[in-house]
């Protein structure tokens, strides 16, 4: 999965997609997020759950343990290793959902520059990405080490032509189970490994190469260059 995504609708639109009647503590914003070209290290909206309460916070995309100071902060974690490797041991219990509208990939089509594609759900619903991270809770104050990673899996079907990895996207029911602190770690691992949404749930199309510059943040970033919308 490449390192660009969009979060342009509001927190309450993402909460509606989760279908969670729980109380919400929103530390993000009630306004549209308008992040059309979110990049690594930027602050993005992230959900986690404490008891029966859903929390929405702005958290840096990318995390590394404090002892790994000699490497860049990864933005993604491979589902095949995340539950058992030492790198993510500290945050594996800290499950979260990164709600997005779409993500971008770059494809080598033989031209002088790679062609960017936008990937979104066919039904245009928000995309609920399984994530883990270090973030503020009632028992943990904000820290300079806060951050999150999106869990990724091998691509399937036609999506393989776009990129060999994809985010683990959960339907609302599984996203709620993933967020629930009462869900055992073993069950959470099985959800991430085997129950992500299939490639058929998504569509993709070419967008302008302007998305390659993170300073370009307008809604034109998400328009198809073939269809103009």
What span, in angstroms and rounded, lies between the C-alpha atoms of 99 and 94? 16
- Active-site residues, by number, are 2, 105
Q: State residue 1's pLDDT score.
A: 66
| Total tally of structural domains belonging to the chain | 1
Q: pTM of the entire structure?
A: 0.94
Q: State residue 92's pLDDT score.
A: 96
CA dihedral 151, 191, 145, 30 (to 10 degrees): 90
> Is there a domain that residue 228 lies in?
no
Q: For residue 18, what are the contacts with CB-CB under 8 A and spacing of at least 6? A: 47, 54, 97, 99, 128, 172, 175, 176
Q: What is the CATH number of the domain that holds 11?
A: 3.90.1680.10
Q: State residue 144's pLDDT score.
A: 85
* CB contact at 8 A, 88 and 149: yes
Q: State residue 155's pLDDT score.
A: 84
Q: State residue 154's pLDDT score.
A: 87
> Is there a domain that residue 227 lies in?
no
> Is there a domain that residue 166 lies in?
yes
Q: State residue 71's pLDDT score.
A: 81
- Residue 9 region by backbone torsions, left for phi larger than 0, else alpha for psi between -120 and 50, else beta: beta
Per-residue pLDDT 10s for the chain (229 aa) are: 678 999 999 999 999 999 988 789 999 988 999 999 999 999 999 999 999 999 999 999 999 998 888 788 999 999 999 999 899 999 999 999 999 999 999 998 888 899 999 999 999 999 999 999 999 888 888 888 899 999 999 887 777 778 878 999 999 999 999 999 999 999 999 999 999 999 999 999 999 999 999 999 999 999 999 864 4
Q: Supply the DSSP symbol for 189.
A: H
Q: Which range marks the domain in which residue 150 is found? A: 5-222
Residue 109, CA distances (Å) to 17, 96, 116 in order: 35, 35, 10
Q: State residue 109's pLDDT score.
A: 87
């Amino acid at each position: 999965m490449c390192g660009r995504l969009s979060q342009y609708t509001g927190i309450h639109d993402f909460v509606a997609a989760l279908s969670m009647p729980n109380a919400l503590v929103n530390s993000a914003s009630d306004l549209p997020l308008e992040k059309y070209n979110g990049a690594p290290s930027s602050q993005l909206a992230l959900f986690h759950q404490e008891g029966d309460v859903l929390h929405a916070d702005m958290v840096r995309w990318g995390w590394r343990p404090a002892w790994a100071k000699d490497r860049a902060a990864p933005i993604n974690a491979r589902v095949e290793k995340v539950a058992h490797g030492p790198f993510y041991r500290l945050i594996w219990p800290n499950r979260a959902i990164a709600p997005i509208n779409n993500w971008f990939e770059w494809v080598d089509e033989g031209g002088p520059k790679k062609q960017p594609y936008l990937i979104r759900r066919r039904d245009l619903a928000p995309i609920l990405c399984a994530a883990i991270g270090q973030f503020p809770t009632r028992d943990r104050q904000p820290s300079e080490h806060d951050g999150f990673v999106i869990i990724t899996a091998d691509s399937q079907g036609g999506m393989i032509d776009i990129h060999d990895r994809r985010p683990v996207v959960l339907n609302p029911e599984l996203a709620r189970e993933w967020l629930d602190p009462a869900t055992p770690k073993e069950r959470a691992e099985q959800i991430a490994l085997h129950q992500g949404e299939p490639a058929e749930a998504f569509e993709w199309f070419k967008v302008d190469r302007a998305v390659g510059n993170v300073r370009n943040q307008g809604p034109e970033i998400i328009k198809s260059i073939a269809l103009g919308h």
